[in-house]
Amino acid sequence: MTSIAAKTIRLNIKHLKVVLSNLKQFSKTEWETFGLECGLHYNTLEAIQANNAGKPGSVEKCFRDTVTCWLKKKDNVDGKGEPTLERLADIVEETGDKATAEEIRNQFRKDDNEITEPIPTIPDQCSTSLWWIVTPVLVLVAIIIYISLRATVIDEYAIKLCDEYAEKLTRYRDPDINKVPAAGPSAPIYVSFVPLKLIRLERHGKEDAGFLKTASIEEILEKYERIEIDDILKPLADKRLRFVLIEGEPGIGKSTLAKELTLRWVRNTDKLLNNFKIVIFVTLRLEIYQKAKTFENLLINFDDINMTEIALSIKKTRGAGVLWILDGFDELPHQLRNSSTSLFIKFIKGDILPKSTVIVTSRLAASLPLYNNLEHDSKSLYLLGFSPNETREYATNNDKGYPITMTGIYNHYVRILLKRHLIDNNKAIDINYDMPQLLICTYNGVMKQQYAFGKELHDVPKLSMMDTINSFSGFYKDESSSFIHTTLQEYFAAIYLVNNPDSMFTKEDLEHNSNLEVVLTFYVGLLKFIDREVDNKTIDMILKQDRYYRLDLNDNFQLSEKDSNPTPHQLFSREK
């Protein structure tokens, strides 16, 4: 196919990413001048500004919308010059950015010399029979070029997804925006992505899991191959990459990494991600996805997009060009993680849309059912945290009194949130804030592997620890809430158990619900915070766990008649 970088080829909405890629160095604050030079009317630009006012990243969104209008040839675009890369270079130069304009021209000058499919010409002297042969060929070539350049419904859907992700997956430190709770300024501030260490496992089994849970960062890096985030989707030597499993301990940054990959596709900053027409990011903790029966139920719906056509298009190509990011496999109910009839297991095995690529994030303790699917067309990756020295250095540089245990960190974090909200609401500062309804819901939720709540938490203050989604059915408002991180729910479930020890779960519960391991960790840590002894039943349950699932008490402290209760520092001294 003729390169779209050829200067005279007409551009349309299908080429949005290519155009934005050529405009990486262009100042997005000049979006209005750019739009006027394109031929857009002033009222169109005013509408773009009004539509994005107050939204995160509004300047970037205004610029993107302006480019979109240009490619759709709105207003007087054709009158000023139909969209081509040559015209794009002229527009950029007219705004004053001659350097970027010259880069664009250099690109299509280079590509003009690489066009490999010129339109055939008819010799001056040819027979009538030759003419009848060449004419259908010319028509066929024209049809192929037209189809290849025509914007499709998938292209329109991709643009909608980009806008949705750019708004929903970007994190801010604004107490008025219920996304990332933090005591601090209320102005929106981007939270930069900090790439942690990633390793690739050639094979994966219980032996690997045990080693990863007990070894230091340095020991792990010596044994396994380290890779960069840019290499996650690097093609395999002899097969198409179908499945990528990314594991890590609770809170290590798996979801943040999944969101970062999605945003890199949105921003067109990763050449491997650019190979995918669309990326579908699925938060598996949400009940709406857990009830999904077909892949269509996992798609993000837009009112002005024909979703039936989208589904048919994906099905027709057997998922080719689609990247599915399934975040939080460990947050699925037990039966959805283990049953061969589960939609998600079928997805991962390639029984559904076999030409798609699927990325799955999961806690180490819940990944066992996935190991059988790690075949020659798959990758197994493990996300590491900072080394003990790095953690110690960070804590020392930022706050000498900062807690160093898992339980201590969550105690500190929740107390800050409570204190801030009590001050904001002009209430008396009571750190021992009573939350009986919240505690019982978190405990029941963890036991049932439920991470989204409806009417049971309608009247409970969310304290910036929960995301709330409102929907309407007729005249009735429906509300569902979930903790911004599963570990917060497990922390409150542990508090409930401290206050209601008779409700302690059993070893059998733990075997069927790997997330109870984190609850157990918090439970032991909380008991030490209030100077209460760990009961023998709990210790016995911990020590009788399978090596793969259990808290490795013997490596972290020694039980003795004199000291049968570990301190939090001892218990969590090996945590990353």
Query: Residue 373: which CATH number?
Result: 3.40.50.300
- Please, which residues have CB within 8 angstroms of residue 515's CB and are 6 or more apart in sequence? 330, 331, 363, 365, 366, 446, 449, 486, 490
Report yes or no on 453 lying in a domain.
yes
* CB atoms closer than 10 angstroms to residue 404: 14
pTM over 0.85: no
Partners of 280 in beta bridges = 324
More confident residue, 484 or 347: 347
Over residues 50-88, the pLDDT tens digits come to 887 776 667 888 898 899 899 888 999 988 998 988 899
Residue type, 387: S
369 and 470 part of one domain: no
More confident residue, 318 or 236: 318
Over residues 325-351, the pLDDT tens digits come to 999 998 888 889 888 899 999 999 999
Report yes or no on 297 lying in a domain.
yes
Q: In what order do the strands lie in the sheet with 243-248?
A: 225-227, 198-201, 378-383, 243-248, 357-363, 322-327, 278-283
112-126, 343-357, 428-442: lowest mean pLDDT where? 112-126
State the pLDDT at residue 393.
67
How far apart CA 19 and CA 9 sit, in angstroms, is 13
Inter-residue contact 519 to 497 (CB < 8 Å): yes
374 and 423 part of one domain: no
Average pLDDT over residues 418-435: 53
CA distances from 66 to 39, 130, 277, 499 (A): 11, 48, 21, 57
434 and 346 part of one domain: no
Strand locations in 255-400 (E): 278-283, 322-327, 357-363, 378-383
CA atoms within 13 A on the CB side of 553: 23
Q: Which of 71, 91, 118 is the last residue of a domain?
A: 118
240 and 103 part of one domain: no
How far apart CA 360 and CA 293 sit, in angstroms, is 18
Report yes or no on 564 lying in a domain.
yes
Inter-residue contact 550 to 214 (CB < 8 Å): no
Report yes or no on 498 lying in a domain.
yes
- Model confidence at 296, pLDDT cuts 50, 70, 90, reads very high
Backbone angles phi, psi at 214, to 5 degrees: -115, -25
How far apart CA 242 and CA 115 sit, in angstroms, is 32
Does the structure show a pLDDT above 80 at 156?
A: yes
Report yes or no on 253 lying in a domain.
yes
Q: Residue 134 belongs to what H/E stretch?
A: helix 128-149
How far apart CA 329 and CA 380 sit, in angstroms, is 14
379 and 282 part of one domain: yes
Report yes or no on 324 lying in a domain.
yes
- The pair of three-digit structure tokens given for residue 183, joined into one six-digit string: 């005591």
413 and 338 part of one domain: no
Does the structure show a pLDDT above 80 at 40?
A: yes
How far apart CA 423 and CA 476 sit, in angstroms, is 33
* CB atoms closer than 10 angstroms to residue 215: 15
Does the structure show a pLDDT above 50 at 430?
A: no
376 and 402 part of one domain: no
Does the structure show a pLDDT above 90 at 165?
A: no
Inter-residue contact 482 to 451 (CB < 8 Å): yes
Q: Which of 350, 385, 420 is the last residue of a domain?
A: 385
More confident residue, 59 or 180: 59
Average pLDDT over residues 227-242: 85
How far apart CA 571 and CA 364 sit, in angstroms, is 19
For the ranges 171-185, 216-230, 260-274, the one whose mean pLDDT is highest: 260-274
312 and 435 part of one domain: no
3-state secondary structure at position 240: coil
User: Quick one: how far is CA 530 from the chain centroid?
Assistant: 37
Q: Which of 363, 385, 407 is the last residue of a domain?
A: 385
For tokens 């690109």, name the residue: 107
417 and 377 part of one domain: no
Residue span of the structural domain in which 48 resides: 13-118
368 and 397 part of one domain: no
206 and 294 part of one domain: yes
- Please, which residues have CB within 8 angstroms of residue 199's CB and are 6 or more apart in sequence? 220, 221, 224, 225, 226, 227, 381, 382, 384
How far apart CA 132 and CA 139 sit, in angstroms, is 11
| Length of the chain counted residue by residue | 576
Inter-residue contact 188 to 177 (CB < 8 Å): yes
Residue type, 563: D
**What is the domain count for the chain?**
3
Report yes or no on 290 lying in a domain.
yes
Inter-residue contact 15 to 4 (CB < 8 Å): yes
Partners of 477 in beta bridges = 472
- Model confidence at 550, pLDDT cuts 50, 70, 90, reads very low
366 and 400 part of one domain: no
Report yes or no on 1 lying in a domain.
no
Q: Of 505, 482, 485, which is closest to residue 494 (Cα–Cα)? A: 505
